[in-house]
Amino acid sequence: MHVGLFFGSFNPIHKGHEAIALYMLRFFDEIWLVVSPQNPFKINQKLVPVELRLEWAKAIFENNKYIQISEVELQLPLPSFTYQTLEHLQTQYPSNTFSLIMGADNLRKFYKWKNYKDIIHQYQVYIYNRVAKSNYLLLHDNIVYTHAPLLNVSSTIIRESIYSGGEIEKLIDEAIVDSVKKYYNGATP
């Protein structure tokens, strides 16, 4: 089985994440959303408890048997390094082929990832939001560019909108709107 791994903090998950996951299904047998408890690049960022982020993701995709919510990084040391997760998954599911799903913004910073050379040589990376090919990484044979739909939404925009009293109903799935609002209205920005 070919599995697309869509890593993220999903803090909170939004319609842009949904659109990418649904679009990427055309390349894979399944998509596994890997909810990261602690991204090494976001050590100082206040995150919603991982259990709630998992709950939100599960609520959105509960009726889609091809998109699974993965808790694998909860079993691994923090912070969550992608190469460790890949090694663990490959050991657990040796008959699966794993590929990464990544935004072009992350590709530009990919050289900062721990063991990035090993990752790029061993796994395909599917990129959404095509960017100009400007260095060897962007030209690597294991990089696959896609034309996934991009919505002008981010988790940061959602958090800022809630804190400023704005509306978020068009930005996140209706299944989690109330829970997201409740969490952030009780949290400190």
Range of the domain at 46: 2-152
For residue 185, give every residue at least 6 positions away whose Cβ sits within 8 Å of its Cβ, in sequence order, or none: 162
Is residue 110 left, alpha or beta, with left meaning phi > 0 and alpha meaning psi from -120 to 50? alpha
Structure confidence at residue 8 (pLDDT): 92
The verdict on residue 107 lying in a domain is yes
The verdict on residue 46 lying in a domain is yes
Structure confidence at residue 22 (pLDDT): 97
Structure confidence at residue 43 (pLDDT): 63
The verdict on residue 110 lying in a domain is yes
The verdict on residue 182 lying in a domain is no
State pTM to two decimals: 0.90
The verdict on residue 177 lying in a domain is no
- The domain tally of the chain equals 1
Domain holding 51: CATH number?
3.40.50.620
Q: 3-state DSSP call for residue 155?
A: helix
The verdict on residue 26 lying in a domain is yes
Structure confidence at residue 107 (pLDDT): 82
Q: Which residues in the chain land under pLDDT 70?
A: 40-44, 130-137, 187-189
Distance, in Å, from the CA atom of 142 to the CA atom of 112, rounded to the nearest integer, reads 18
The verdict on residue 120 lying in a domain is yes
